[in-house]
Amino acid sequence: MKTINNSTQSTKIFNCFTILFPLFVAVILIMASTDVFAQNRAIEPAARGDNWWGSRFVANIVQMENGKIDLLMIGDSITHGWENAGKKTWAAYYAKRNPINLGFSGDQTQHVLWRLEHMPLNKINPKAAVIMIGTNNIGSNLSTPKETADGIKLIVEKLEKQYPDIKIIVLHVFPRDEKPDGKLRKKVDEINKFLPELFKSNKNVKLLDINKVFLAENNILPKAIMPDSLHPNEAGYKLWAEAIEPALVEIFGK
């Protein structure tokens, strides 16, 4: 019977561990740099490096510093588009309410959070905010629908902390893809399913689902409303304004 020397065996185990440990650490570091251990990007404030983005951000700051603002319109390119396809409707519905357009093309929830953290929010005391954000989170495949919904929730919490009396209208993320079985339409629908539970206890938050105004029979998204199956055209912005107007009248009285 062969006798095993415990000291020799321990030395071999130690040597094996010494050799493999750096490899183990390297694997952990690689995993940590991937989505295996990634935190929810949708709730981590992040800036973007585009020059136009920085210039627009500075312009928003100047507007906050220099003027009375009662209405915050917060979002991505869909909100940004009030300055283009929605320009006439914006003038008709919102100009009288001292608005600021905080829509930035391509933004995700984390970018909105960064902007809100770095703007002089103490310079203004708005009565209301309208939030429509999230479609780019799932469009980029960097966030799940649940993570995106959590990002929307954090934006609301940021505004509530800054302005305890503000009235916040959170819009269901608008439909995208022409047909209801489209991959991105399904993801948007999933985001929206999380919202009622997230905001059920927020007394100053009104969650509005106006998506039906954009959809035709069989929940088809018409090109006549959103030509690229994502961004409203002039007719789409008018439908949007008409759909949320009753909620804004409750806040502004006119």
Among 96, 103, 102, 132, residue whose Cα is nearest residue 249: 96
In whole angstroms, what is the distance from residue 192 CA to residue 199 CA? 11
Burial of 144 (C-beta count, 10 Å sphere; 0-12/13-18/19+): middle
Provide the residue ranges of all domains of the chain, joining segments of one domain with +.
Answer: 7-38, 41-252
Distance CA 80, CA 99 (A): 13
Each residue of 105-164: pLDDT tens digit?
A: 999 999 999 999 999 999 999 999 999 999 999 999 999 999 999 999 999 999 999 999
CATH class of segment(s) 41-252: alpha beta
Residue with tokens 């409203």: 232
Please, are residues 95 and 73 in contact by the beta-carbon 8 Å criterion? no
Model pLDDT, residue 227 = 98
* SS3 call for 100: strand
